[in-house]
């Protein structure tokens, strides 16, 4: 039985290390790892990428583009975990739950762009509602999300974990120039015609995301919270990794713990509604290192492997 050769370029970064951990002990593939002295050697990296069946790029955006430029073996299939190619024509967006055909598109593609962590939650909530017409593509959306500090990569992890308690901020918002690089990705893959406002933040915990999107039903004539709920339930019916919780609109609502799904590839969606005030809150909880990064990459890798066995 052929064991596909998988090369992780950037395997010492946060996502690369997580992918390694998730693949540990797998018998259905071989991992190609470069010695420490060769990891930054452009020639050796190019040789490794072109010798692999599947290359996983866990690199900064510019380095990912450079890595793709070195490819000359047409048989190599690429999963890019950076944001370099998420809106690039010719690349398949690596969110298998995007629609009923997306997993098959990924399995047949040679160029897959792994989704960003925040966009995973936002698109999972918005895309089905926009596609069915329940949410207009030009609705004035605001998206708020808090991630564990590991969302900032290895440098952020070191900065937080080496700080004294007095120096560690409990919460910090960023991207306040309202030009975060995830916005075009969210807009394109959620099917939006109007640019959403996106405000992310880091909390003083390692990993996990809670993302929320408020809706005013007065701006959605004829649309009810029950319809929004039913749309998401239908879209994700039978999904292995996406859970849609029951609609909350009576009595005290449970709090959301951003760390509830850590170390998994699960994504939990929930709607909170106040019928009296005509307001709905769309929410998503997931691990920024799981479904938001390495878990999604391994899910896409498994889809590619089905075509190589």
Q: Which domain holds residue 32?
A: 5-115+293-306
Burial of 171 (0-12, 13-18, 19+ CB in 10 A): exposed
Residues 202 and 217 in one domain: yes
Q: Is 58 a catalytic site residue?
A: no
Q: Quick one: 79 and 135 in the same domain? A: no
Instruction: Let me know whether 143 and 224 are in one domain.
Output: yes
Q: Are residues 156 and 244 in the same domain?
A: yes
Quick one: pLDDT at residue 12?
Answer: 86
Q: What is the DSSP letter of 199?
A: E
Query: Strand pairing partners for 267?
Result: 242, 286
CATH number of the structural domain spanning residue 97: 3.40.50.720
DSSP string, 101-156: THHHHHHH-SEEEPPPHHHHHHHHHHHHHHHTTSS-TT---EEEEEEEGGGGHHHH
> Are residues 136 and 253 both part of a single domain?
yes
**pLDDT at residue number 162:** 74
The verdict on 215 and 297 lying in the same domain is: no
pLDDT at 303 over 90: yes
d(CA 253, CA 189): 30
First to last CA, the chain: 8
What pLDDT was estimated at residue 59? Answer: 94
Note whether 275 and 152 are same-domain residues: yes
Write the pLDDT tens digit of every residue in 221-274: 999 999 999 999 999 999 999 999 999 998 788 899 999 999 999 999 999 999
| Whether 132 and 241 share a structural domain | yes
pLDDT-based confidence at residue 173 (cuts at 50, 70, 90): very high
pLDDT band per the 50, 70, 90 thresholds, residue 177 = very high
* pLDDT category of residue 140 using cuts at 50, 70 and 90: very high
**284 and 139 within one domain:** yes
Q: Which of 58, 79, 95, 117 is catalytic?
A: 117
Residue 307 has pLDDT above 80, yes or no: no
Question: Which of 26-35, 195-204, 267-276 shows the lowest mean pLDDT across its residues?
Answer: 26-35
pTM of the shown model: 0.95
What is the rounded CA–CA span in Å between residue 241 and residue 135?
24
At residue 36, the pLDDT reads 84
Q: State how far the Cα of 4 lies from the Cα of 266, in Å rounded to an integer.
A: 26
Q: Summarize the confidence of residues 84-88 as an average pLDDT.
A: 97
When divided into structural domains, the chain yields a total of 2
Residues 6+ away with beta carbon under 8 Å from 274? 249, 280
Residue 155 in this model has a pLDDT that exceeds 80: no
**CATH number for position 275:** 3.30.360.10
Q: What is the mean pLDDT of residues 107-118?
A: 97
Same domain, 219 and 301: no
Backbone angles phi, psi at 187, to 5 degrees: -60, -45
How far is 171 from 266, CA to CA, in rounded Å? 24
Q: Quick one: 76 and 189 in the same domain?
A: no
**What pLDDT does residue 166 have?**
64
With vertex at residue 229, the alpha carbon angle to CA 224 and CA 233, rounded to the nearest 5 degrees, is 150
């Amino acid at each position: 039985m052929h064991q596909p050769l998988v090369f992780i370029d950037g395997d010492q970064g946060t996502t690369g290390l997580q992918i390694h951990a998730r693949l540990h002990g797998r018998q259905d593939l071989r991992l190609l790892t470069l010695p420490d002295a060769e990891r930054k050697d452009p020639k050796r990296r190019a040789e490794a990428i072109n010798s692999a069946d599947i290359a996983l790029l866990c690199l900064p955006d510019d380095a990912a583009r450079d890595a793709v430029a070195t490819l000359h073996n047409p048989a190599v299939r690429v999963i890019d975990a950076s944001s370099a190619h998420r809106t690039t024509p010719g690349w398949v967006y690596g969110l298998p739950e995007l629609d009923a055909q997306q997993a098959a598109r990924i399995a047949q593609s040679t160029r897959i762009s792994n989704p960003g962590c925040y966009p995973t939650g936002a698109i999972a909530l918005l895309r089905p509602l926009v596609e069915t017409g329940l949410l207009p593509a030009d609705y004035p959306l605001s998206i708020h999300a808090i991630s564990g500090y590991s969302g900032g990569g290895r440098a952020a992890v070191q900065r937080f974990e080496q700080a004294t308690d007095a120096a560690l901020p409990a919460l910090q918002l960023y991207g306040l120039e309202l030009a975060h690089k995830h916005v075009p990705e969210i807009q394109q893959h959620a099917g939006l015609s109007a640019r959403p406002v996106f405000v992310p933040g880091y909390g003083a915990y390692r990993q996990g995301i809670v993302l929320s999107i408020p809706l005013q039903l007065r701006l959605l004539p004829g649309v009810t919270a029950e319809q929004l709920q039913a749309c998401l339930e239908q879209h994700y019916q039978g999904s292995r990794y996406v859970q849609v919780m029951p609609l909350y609109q009576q009595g005290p609502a449970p709090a959301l713990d951003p760390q509830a799904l850590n170390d998994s590839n699960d994504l939990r969606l929930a709607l909170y509604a106040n019928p009296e005030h005509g307001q709905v809150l769309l929410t998503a909880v997931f691990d920024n290192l799981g479904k938001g990064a390495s878990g999604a990459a391994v899910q896409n890798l498994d889809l590619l492997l089905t075509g190589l066995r």
